[in-house]
Chains A and B, each alone.
Chain A
C-alpha cells in the first residue's frame, strides 16, 4: 500500500508499481481511495499482487509505503506481523494529534487508541508500538536522498524534485521485495515516455533508492515478489478505461457528459482516443461533448440517438438526478439511449469520491411515469468492458433507455486481465428501415406491433418523416389524448420488457458461482462480486458449502430464474454496499422470496475478501446476526 497527501504522486507510484509487477507476469488488483480534494488530504492505493488471478482486496498490508505521517497513522494497524512500514525518517518526531489534516472525529478515535494501548504522542511511539507486533520499520531519509540525486543531476533547488519522493518509495519497496529492478525501470519509462528528461530523472531516483535500501535494510523483510513467465498478453486497467473501450467497440459515436466523479475519467479517456481505426484500416471517430449540465448531457445524447448515432452519457448520482426528466422523455419516445451510471457514496453530495450501491432503486424508478428501461449491472472490470458494448445492442434492439449500472469501486480499481478477446462481438442495431424500404409507404414511427417494437427510421431519412413528442402520441408521433390510443400505446411500450426478459441471454441475466446446490446462497450485484467469489473459495477449503448468484439484469428482473435459484434455500445472504439491502428488497417484491441475512456496507469503502469471508463464515456457523455491517477501510 502506498499513501500520502493528495497531489504527492500516490497514483503515479501505484500505477508504476502495478505495471512493474505486471511486466513480471504477476496479477495485480489495485484499489484507489482519495478525498474530494485537490491537494493535501490523505489518499492511498492498495495493491494486491499474486502469480494467480486476484479479484478483490484484503485487509492485510504487507508493506506500507507512507509518504507522510498521516498515512502511517491511518494504516499502521493494517500491517501484518513481519510486514513493513517505509517512512520518512524526518517524520519520526511528528506529534500525531498535531497532523493538521486529521478531522476531529478521527482524532478522537486516535486518542482512544493511544489511551487503550498506551501509545505515546509521536509517530516514533506509534512505530515502536507496531514493532512490538513484529512489524519492521524502514526509515528513509528522503531529503538526504533527494539532495544526493539533485547533486548528480546538477539541480540545486531540491524543491524542484520533491515530487520524486513517490519514485523513491517505489525503489525502496522493490528492493525490500527483492524484485527485479529492471522491471521497475521499464514501468517508469513507460509511464513518463512522453517526457524523456523526466524519465531519466526518475530512473536515477529509482535506482538510487533501490541501492540505498539494499545497503541499509539487509534481509530484515521476508516478503518477496518474484517474476514468473507468462505466455499471454495482459492488460492492467481501470473500470473507467474498460467502459470507454467497450463503448467504442459497441459503436458509441457520440458521448456527452458533465464533469463528475467518478465518471468523468471515462469521457476524458474517450476524447483522448477520439480517432480510432477499424479492422479494415479506416478511421472512425467519437465526438465527445462536455455539456453545460447533465440535463443537456442526457437530452443531447437522446437527440444524437434519434439522428442515428449510437449515443451515451456517463454520470454519477447527482448528475443522474438531473437526468430524470430526460430519461422519462426517452422512455416515452422509445429512444435507444445509453446512460452509464457510476454510483458513489450518496445521498446528496455524499461521499463524492467513495463507493456506494445505494442508487439501485433510484435507477429503477427515476423519471415520472411508467416506461420500460433496462438496467444491466456489471460486477467486475471485464464485465464493464463487454457490457459497455452490449448495452448499445439492447438499447437499439428494444428501442428504450438502458442504464449500465456501475460503481466507484469498479471505476477506479485497477486489475490485470488477459487481453480482451472482443473479435466475436456483434453489432445488432435492431429494426431500422432504410430509405429504399420506405419508398411509397406510409411510415408510422410508433406502429402498434405484437412485440411492442416498431421499426425505426433515423432523422433525415427520405420518405420517413415522422414526429416525436413528450406528450402521449399516436402511431405517427402526434399528440393524442384519446383513451384507447393511450391504452394501446402504454401497453405497446411496456410489452417490450417481456421481450427483454425472454431474449436476453442467460449469462447476461444471472451468473452463478460456487456450490449452488447447497442450502446456502449469496445474492449480490456489482463490485462486491470479487470479494464474494474469493470468500467462497476460502469457505470451500474450510468445508462450507455455499453458492453465489450474481444478478446482472436487474430490470426487468428475471423473476423465474431467480425464484428457481432461491427456492428452498436455508440461508439466503444478501450482500450489498448500501443500508437497506435494495436488491434483496427487489427480489422479495418480485419473487416473494426474501433474503434472511444481510451483509451490508455503507462506509464508502469497497468490501474486502477478508471481511466478507468473516461475515459469511459467521452466518454459516449461526454466530451472526441477520444484519452484518462491514466497516473495514480508511
Chain B
C-alpha cells in the first residue's frame, strides 16, 4: 500500500506562509508527486535555501536540509554525490537561485547531477519585505519598491538551458495538478531538472498577482477572464531531444518560448535531453563501483575499528629506499 499525500505532512510544524501564498500550492504539489511516485519520506532529501521558499523543507515529511541563502545547489550536490541513491530536490527562491546563488546555478548545469531544482518565482524578496528579485522586469514597481525596478530580469528558463540543465520546465503554484505532474517528470528525468514555478507573493507583489495570471484584467466579450498562462503540451510543442542532431534546434525552440512573457506565458516542459551523461555516470566511468558503494556507504574500519585502507600504492611513489 503506497503512501498518500497526507503522509508527507508535518503535523508538528505550523506552515507560517501568508494566507493565499503560492508556497502552499508547491507544498501540496510536492506531497502529491512523492505519493504518486511511491517514494517514502526517508528516501527523499529536500534541500532548501533562505526565504519563504526555504520553509518548504520543514513542511514536507522527508529529510529536510534548510541551508544558506543561495547555497541550495552546493549542499544538494554534496548530498547527492555522497549518496546518489537518495532522491534529492533543491528548493529555492528566485533571489536565492538567480541572484546570490547564480554562480551555482550556472555551474550546476555543467555537472548535470540527477536531481531536481525548483525555483519559487515571484519577483520579490518576500521575507525581507518586498525588494526586487532577479526575475522582476525592468520598470516594474511592486508595492514596497521606492522606485521602479532599475534592473532587467534574468530569463531563468533560458539561463538553465544554456547552462546545461537537461530538463527545463515552468509551472504555476495555483495549478497544483499541473505542478505535481511537472515535479514528477522532473524527478523521473535522468539528469538535472529545473522547474521555474510561478508563485505569486500575495503580500509584496501587487503586479504579477494571481488575478493578473488569471487575466482578470482582460476579459472576453462574455466577461470571462483570459488567462495569461497557456500549456505548451496543448500547443503540440515537443521539448524532447531524441538524438544529438536535433539538440540545437530544440534548444533554440525552447529559448524562443522562454522569451514569451506578458499576455501569453507558456508553462510546461520547454526542453528535455536524456542523452547527456549525468554526473553520476561521469563519476562511474572513473569509479566503476561508485553507484554500489558511494562515499556514504564505504566501510572505513574493520571489526576492531582499525582503518582498512592500504597506503602501499601511495607510498610506493614516495619511497627513497
Contact = CB atoms under 8 A, between A and B. Distances in A.
B308 A19 contact: no
Contacts of A389: 307
A23 B321 CA distance: 5
A459 B309 contact: no
B42 A464 contact: yes
B45 A460 contact: yes
Contacts of B58: 467, 469, 478-479
Most central of A19, A248, A253, A429 by chain B CB within 10 Å: A253
A593 interface: no
Nearest to B296: A308
A300 interface: yes
A311 B295 contact: yes
A465 interface: yes
Interface string A274-315: 111111100111110101110111011111111111110000
A330 to B, nearest CB: 10
A269 to B, nearest CB: 9
Contacts of A459: 45, 63, 65, 79, 83, 86
Nearest to A476: B12
Given A245-B311, A276-B313, A462-B42, A287 B295 contact: yes
A606 to B, nearest CB: 21
A249 B287 contact: no
A141 interface: no
Contact of A468 (B12, B66, B78): B66
A430 to B, nearest CB: 12
Nearest to A251: B300
Complex A-B, nearest 4 residue pairs according to Cβ-Cβ distance, in ascending order? A22-B320, A303-B78, A300-B78, A427-B301
B293 to A, nearest CB: 8
A279 B308 CA distance: 5
B61 A277 contact: no
A468 B296 contact: no
B64 A467 contact: yes
Nearest to A278: B308
Given A301-B78, A325-B68, 11 more contacts: A234-B319, A245-B311, A245-B314, A250-B307, A254-B81, A279-B308, A308-B296, A309-B82, A309-B294, A468-B64, A469-B64
Contacts of B311: 245, 248-249, 276, 420, 422
Contacts of A22: 320-321
A441 B66 CA distance: 24
Interface string A239-273: 00100110011110110100000000000000001
Contacts of A249: 307, 309, 311
Contact of B306 (A235, A307, A310, A426): A426
Interface string B178-202: 0000000000000000000000000
B157 interface: no
B50 interface: yes
A416 interface: yes
Given A233-B319, A234-B321, A419-B319, A311 B71 contact: no
A19 B320 contact: yes
A304 B103 CA distance: 20
B45 A299 contact: no
Nearest to A418: B321
Interface residues of A, number: 89
A589 interface: no
Contacts of A325: 68
Contacts, number: 257
Nearest to B321: A234
A236 interface: yes
Interface of B: 10, 12-13, 40-43, 45, 47, 50, 55, 57-58, 61-68, 71, 73-83, 85-86, 103-104, 106-107, 283, 286-287, 289-290, 293-298, 300-302, 304-315, 318-321
B42 A310 contact: no
Given A254-B295, A292-B107, A428 B305 contact: yes
B177 to A, nearest CB: 26
B295 A309 contact: yes
B65 A303 contact: yes
B107 A426 contact: no
B296 A307 contact: yes
A299 B306 contact: no
B318 A285 contact: no
Contact of B81 (A230, A300, A310, A428): A300
A466 interface: yes
B81 A465 contact: no
Contact of B83 (A18, A248, A309): A309
Contacts of B283: 287
B298 A460 contact: no
A277 B289 CA distance: 13
Main secondary structure of the interface of B (DSSP, over half): mixed
Contacts of B10: 478
A426 B68 CA distance: 34
Contact of A304 (B41, B79, B320): B79
Contacts of A232: 321
A291 B71 CA distance: 12
Most central of B10, B67, B77, B314 by chain A CB within 10 Å: B314
Contacts of A292: 103-104, 106-107
Contacts of A477: 64
Interface in A188-225: none
Contact of A296 (B50, B104, B290): B104
Contacts of B85: 460
Contact of A235 (B41, B68, B318): B318
Interface in A412-469: 416, 419-420, 422-429, 458-469
B79 A306 contact: yes
Nearest to A236: B320
Nearest to B301: A427
Contacts of A300: 74-75, 77-78, 81
A304 B295 contact: yes
A379 interface: no
B203 to A, nearest CB: 19
Contact of B300 (A237, A310, A479): A310
9 contacts: A233-B321, A251-B298, A253-B298, A277-B309, A279-B308, A303-B77, A308-B82, A419-B319, A467-B64
Most central of B42, B107, B315 by chain A CB within 10 Å: B42
B192 to A, nearest CB: 14
A310 B301 CA distance: 12
Nearest to A474: B12
A53 interface: no
A329 interface: yes
Contacts of B300: 251, 253, 310, 427, 429
B287 A465 contact: no
A230 B321 contact: yes
Nearest to B63: A459
A468 to B, nearest CB: 5
A464 B44 CA distance: 12
A275 B57 contact: no
Contact of B77 (A289, A310, A423): A289
Nearest to A293: B103
Given A426-B307, A478-B58, A275 B71 contact: no
Given A273-B313, A296-B104, A299-B67, A251 B307 contact: yes
Nearest to B306: A426
Contacts of B286: 274-275
Most central of B43, B57, B309 by chain A CB within 10 Å: B309
A228 B194 CA distance: 65
Interface string A2-40: 000000000000000011011101000000000000000
A470 interface: yes
A479 B15 CA distance: 11
Contact of A465 (B42, B67, B319): B42
B62 A274 contact: no
Interface string A386-414: 00010000000000000000000000000
